[in-house]
């Protein structure tokens, strides 16, 4: 298994994985997010590949101070074997190499199954309110 940047050639495999993991929403096309991340100088999508097959992803980016993680996904047969942890470690290392001093992520309140995972990795509720406004 190796973790490396995905490429536009991985589009179908990435979006399929994100859909199977329940990370997509109808109003937010995953292909658009993937292209934005790959086209930016401050972001990427890291993919975990086993025998040439994509089995995990994490989107990572930064604003010069804070890093952000999105689309952490692990294929169902690969879950529970530490791949999510390895992907988060890779995202953290990517951010440290670029000078980010803090990593943040958002978890939907309805996604209670994943909160324990992030707790075990040392992430804690920052007690901030995230507000958003759609610009499209």
Average pLDDT, the chain: 94
- 31 phi, psi to nearest 5 deg: -65, -35
pLDDT at position 132 is: 87
11 domain-assigned: yes
pLDDT at position 111 is: 83
Average pLDDT over residues 7-29: 95
Answer yes or no: is pLDDT of 134 > 90.
no
When divided into structural domains, the chain yields a total of 1
130 domain-assigned: no
Answer yes or no: is pLDDT of 103 > 90.
yes
Looking up residue 32, the CATH number of its domain turns out to be 3.40.630.30
Judge contact between 118 and 105, C-beta under 8 A: yes
Range(s) of the domain holding residue 114: 2-120
104 domain-assigned: yes
93 domain-assigned: yes
Lowest mean pLDDT among 48-57, 89-98, 101-110: 101-110
Judge contact between 6 and 46, C-beta under 8 A: yes
26 domain-assigned: yes
133 domain-assigned: no
Instruction: Label residue 112 by pLDDT band (50, 70, 90).
Output: confident
Average pLDDT over residues 75-91: 96
Contacts of residue 18, defined as CB under 8 A and 6 or more positions apart, other chains included, come to 24, 30, 57, 71, 73
Higher pLDDT, 75 or 131: 75
Residue 51: closest CA among 1, 15, 90 = 1
134 domain-assigned: no
Answer yes or no: is pLDDT of 116 > 90.
no
Average pLDDT over residues 19-27: 92
Answer yes or no: is pLDDT of 130 > 90.
no
- 3-state DSSP assignment of residue 99: coil
């Amino acid at each position: 298994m190796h973790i490396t940047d995905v490429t536009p050639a991985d589009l179908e495999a990435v979006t399929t994985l994100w859909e199977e993991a329940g990370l997509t929403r109808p109003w937010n096309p995953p292909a658009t997010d993937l292209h934005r991340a790959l086209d930016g100088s401050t972001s990427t999508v890291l993919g975990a590949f086993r025998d040439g097959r994509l089995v995990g992803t994490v989107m990572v980016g930064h604003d010069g101070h804070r890093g952000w993680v999105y689309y952490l996904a692990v294929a169902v047969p690969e879950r529970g074997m530490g791949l999510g942890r390895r992907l988060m470690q890779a995202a953290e290392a990517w951010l440290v190499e670029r000078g980010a001093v803090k990593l943040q992520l958002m978890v939907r309140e309805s996604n209670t199954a994943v909160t324990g995972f992030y707790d075990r990795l040392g992430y804690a509720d920052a007690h901030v309110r995230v507000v958003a406004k759609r610009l499209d």
